Amino acid sequence: MYLAIPSPTSPFLDIGPLAIRYYALSIVLGVIIAVFLGSRRAQKVGAPPTLVSDVALLAIPFGVIGGRVYHVISTPDPYFGANGDLLSALYIWEGGLGIWGAISLGFFGAWLAFNRYKEKLNLPLSFAQFADALAPGILLAQVVGRFGNWFNQELFGKPTTLPWALEISPRNRPFGYSQFETFHPTFLYEAIWSLALALILIALTQKLSAVPGRIFALYVAGYCLGRLFIEQLRIDSALLFLGFRLNTWTSLAVLALALLAYIRLAKRSDSQTQSRDLE
């Protein structure tokens, strides 16, 4: 017998006749944390107290829809496979929100809402400043949200007997892995990586805020870098392209774009510094 992290016996929190999924609670708690921290940071660059929560009213539904669409596209077998159930694509409460779809469509929703309020309230800040303020909070929301995967016993990695291995019940083990009892807790790896990255961004805020957009670009690049390694461990069903998971290719593409954006913004920062030195 060896050490292992136990998985919850039930994905539900029973309150009298109510059964609430921990996954849903994790998402809600993550949103609250993101809005709270994002609001405090945004106010420091000139945002009114309610701006983040107002923008979230549009960004969150966009993010949920985007996350679910991406999940269904990247993991089609449960919905379009031989024994798939297309209707279950609507069962968001059972888990399955692709982070790339959630970030991209949520980002678009936030941009729409922000520009509406910027014009209405004549806000003194740019969307890049606003995105920089939100980045650490988004990461903390991802940290909390990943524990919803733990309650659902999903998105774990390859079999392992490491001391921090995760116990998975037989009914949740993928086809071909029924003989294994413990697996890599990829949900925990991603949570730890996201937490570390959030703390780094908070620490670098003052240094990087001279050129808006760098903090958000670093968030995207840093998250993609960690996700590349985590994807190599996962064994859940996923769409493959040229032998690699779609999420791997997406991580590579988004990482390249984020690094390019960061480099361009860094050059702009250097140019501004040189101009001030000449003065």
- Taking a C-beta distance cutoff of 8 angstroms, is the pair 33, 53 a contact? no
Q: Provide the phi-psi class of 153: left if phi over 0, else alpha when psi is between -120 and 50, else beta.
A: left
In terms of Cα–Cα distance, which of 257, 239, 33, 274 is closest to 136?
33
pTM of the model: 0.92
Question: Which sequence spans correspond to the domains of the chain?
Answer: 12-278
pLDDT one digit per residue (tens) for the chain, 279 residues? 568 999 999 999 999 888 999 999 999 999 999 999 999 999 999 999 999 999 999 999 999 999 999 988 888 888 888 888 888 888 876 767 888 899 999 999 999 999 999 999 999 999 999 999 999 999 999 999 999 999 999 999 999 999 999 999 999 999 999 999 999 999 999 999 999 999 999 999 999 999 999 999 999 999 999 999 999 999 988 888 888 998 999 999 999 999 999 999 998 865 555 444 445
In terms of Cα–Cα distance, which of 234, 237, 246 is closest to 79?
237
DSSP H helices in 19-126: 22-43, 51-74, 77-80, 99-121
- Side chain identity, residue 100: W
- Side chain identity, residue 83: N
Residue 54 CA to residue 255 CA, distance in Å, equals: 29
Residue 99 CA to residue 119 CA, distance in Å, equals: 30
